[in-house]
């Protein structure tokens, strides 16, 4: 079997092993769908990506590389942390974008633009357009039962589609988010990926807020530093073979598009995700003057080498 460049990137963190890892095969040319899917099942990460040459039409529109994104359960048209992690790996392997100020990725939803942030390893992607629909009472009842939630703890609920599909629930408090102990088998039966979020009260203050989050995080990683955040998020994806995703770009993108539009969150905020799994993910969400939501964070390389595929 050919030896192909391989790397594993931790996304939404500047500290190795505290974010969400993505496996990146930097030369996926010639691999069949079956081989890609088999390797994604083997890695047992929430996503594994394969970098491919762009199509001629996409290159003419500025695309720099093409990526295919697989979970253990199937292929995704788009996902957030694999987008940032693949861009990090591609640049680190010597990739040169057509435009020095941005990277353009071709994937299942079309072209996705990334822009560099304040540091060399900080990038943000333009969230694909969001479609929202209201869940049925039956869907909401089944999901609340699987999560162990009372109806009164759910403030708002929406189906969120921006490539991936999530059922998004806005809950009454970060404590409710942290305290969830889902029945993942029951969640899988619903066929839905479920994201939950809760806003930190503005009146709590930065010190109190950080202390509360630190206590939750300390159950898993007592020595980790905890940065201030404005929204606490968890993502449950038993429907595609992942019980809980550590830090989820597509989910945070859709939450931002929804909650900023409804005036729940400001046009710039930071989301925290991963404390329940011993991670310390930070996702930076901003909406620009044109209404485009950008989803950003830092990335760090954890593994480099070759894979036989």
CA distances for 281 relative to 14, 20, 56, 123, 296, angstroms: 9, 7, 36, 15, 11
What is the predicted pLDDT for the residue at 139?
97
Instruction: List the chain residues with pLDDT less than 70.
Output: 203-227
In terms of pTM, does the model score above 0.75?
A: yes
State the Cα–Cα distance between residues 269 and 112, nearest whole angstrom: 22
Is 191 within 8 Å of 240 (Cβ atoms)? Answer: no
Domains of the chain: 3-127+298-308 (3.10.310.10), 131-285 (3.10.310.10)
Do 107 and 67 meet the contact criterion of CB atoms below 8 Å apart?
Answer: yes
> Among residues 155, 158, 160, 156, which one has the least CA distance to residue 135?
158
pLDDT of residue 207: 45
Give the pLDDT of residue 222. 34
pLDDT score for 223: 37
Distance in angstroms (rounded) separating the CA atoms of residues 255 and 233: 9
β-pair partners for 50: 25, 68
- pLDDT score recorded for residue 121: 81
Q: What is the pLDDT of residue 224?
A: 41
Name the burial class of residue 265, with classes exposed (0-12), middle (13-18) and buried (19+) by CB atoms within 10 angstroms of its CB: buried
pLDDT in the model for residue 269: 97
């Amino acid at each position: 079997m050919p030896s192909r460049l391989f790397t594993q990137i931790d996304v939404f963190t500047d500290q190795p092993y505290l974010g969400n890892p993505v496996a990146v095969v930097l030369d996926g040319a010639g691999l069949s769908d079956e081989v890609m899917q088999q390797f994604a099942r083997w890695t047992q990460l929430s996503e594994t990506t394969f970098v491919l040459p762009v199509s001629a039409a996409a290159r003419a529109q500025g695309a720099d590389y093409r990526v295919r994104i697989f979970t253990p359960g199937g292929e995704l048209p788009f996902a957030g942390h694999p987008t940032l992690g693949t861009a990090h790996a591609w640049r680190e392997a010597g990739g040169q974008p057509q435009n020095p100020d941005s990277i353009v990725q071709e994937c299942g939803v079309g072209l996705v633009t990334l822009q560099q942030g304040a540091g060399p390893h900080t990038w943000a992607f333009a969230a694909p357009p969001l479609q929202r629909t209201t869940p049925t009472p039956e869907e909401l009842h089944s999901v609340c039962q699987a999560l162990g939630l009372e109806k009164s703890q759910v403030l708002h609920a929406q189906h969120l589609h921006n490539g991936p599909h999530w059922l998004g629930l806005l809950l009454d408090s970060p404590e409710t988010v942290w305290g969830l102990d889902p029945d993942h088998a029951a969640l899988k039966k619903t066929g839905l990926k479920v994201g939950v979020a809760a806003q930190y009260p503005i009146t709590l203050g930065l010190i109190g807020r950080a202390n509360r989050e630190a206590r939750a995080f300390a159950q898993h990683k007592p020595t980790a530093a905890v940065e201030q955040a404005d929204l606490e998020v968890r993502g449950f994806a038993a429907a595609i073979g992942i019980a809980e995703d550590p830090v989820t770009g597509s989910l945070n993108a859709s939450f931002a598009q929804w909650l900023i539009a409804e005036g729940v969150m400001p046009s710039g905020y930071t989301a925290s995700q991963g404390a329940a799994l011993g991670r310390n993910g930070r996702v930076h969400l901003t909406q620009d003057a044109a209404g485009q939501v950008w989803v950003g964070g830092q990335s760090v390389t954890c593994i480099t080498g070759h894979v036989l595929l």
